[in-house]
Amino acid sequence: MPLVVVDHPLAQHLLTRLRDVGTPPPLFRTLAKRLTIALILEAVRALPSVEVEVQTPLETARGRTITPDLVAVPILRAGLGMLEAVTELFPEITVGYIGLERDDATLRPTSYYEKLPPMDGRHVLLLDPMLATGGSATRACTSIAAKGPAQISFVCVVAAPQGVARMEAEHPEVPVFTAALDRDLTDNGYILPGLGDFGDRLFGTEPHLGAPPNP
């Protein structure tokens, strides 16, 4: 399983701002979108393209277009923070959704929603900002793989070694694209140093891990 850490200076700048506990939700959303663009550009680098001819206002010109029929699948809810960047880059992309919720006691994911388009022969960008234990990522990959896609690429903001190892064991054919391979997991499955609960920080729903206590 290829693990690609996108170490472009801009990607690392955006990631550092996302990690900062003082970054408020509106800015967090903007930074997440911009970082996703950097990650997706790397994730689609190897996709096949074909040469085409187009008419400019002055004359015909040759260029290249990406040929695969792309599908974006965010894992709800945090993956929604990455979706807008993908649809802006590829306005004609098809979108599916997988809803997974992690049990705080067992750290295992349970499914509460799934809506996927036809996948046969298509290239899938699976979006989830945090690859922690790998439970949600591998379960989503299993659901998508059963529908016969040509390729699945998993795109995340940060990854833990445990999640990467699980992806390697269960879905070695799926490349993982991330901005950072972090150090470890806490006992309750949060990535260290990580950036707290991505969904909570994205939507401002509750104090995230590491936030200063209320006065």
Find the CATH number of the domain harbouring 98: 3.40.50.2020
What pTM, to 2 d.p., does this model score?
0.90
Q: Which domain holds residue 167?
A: 3-48+65-203
Does residue 58 belong to any structural domain of this protein? no
Which of the following is catalytic: 30, 67, 87, 106? 106
158, 182 Cβ separation under 8 angstroms: yes
DSSP state of 41: H
Number of domains in the chain: 1
Does residue 107 belong to any structural domain of this protein? yes
**Residue 67, pLDDT score:** 72
Does residue 71 belong to any structural domain of this protein? yes
Known catalytic residue at 102 = yes
Kindly state the average pLDDT of the residues 192-206.
89
Phi, psi of 34 (to 5 degrees): -65, -40
Check pLDDT > 60 for residue 209.
Answer: no
Q: pLDDT tens digits for 105-149?
A: 666 778 888 999 999 999 999 999 999 999 999 999 999 999 999
153 strand-pairing partners: 125
DSSP state of 179: S
Known catalytic residue at 200 = yes
Known catalytic residue at 128 = no
Which of the following is catalytic: 69, 128, 182, 197? 197
User: Strands, E, within 22-140: which ranges?
Assistant: 49-55, 60-66, 70-76, 94-95, 97-102, 109-115, 123-127, 130-131
3 state DSSP class of 113: strand
**Residue 174, pLDDT score:** 97
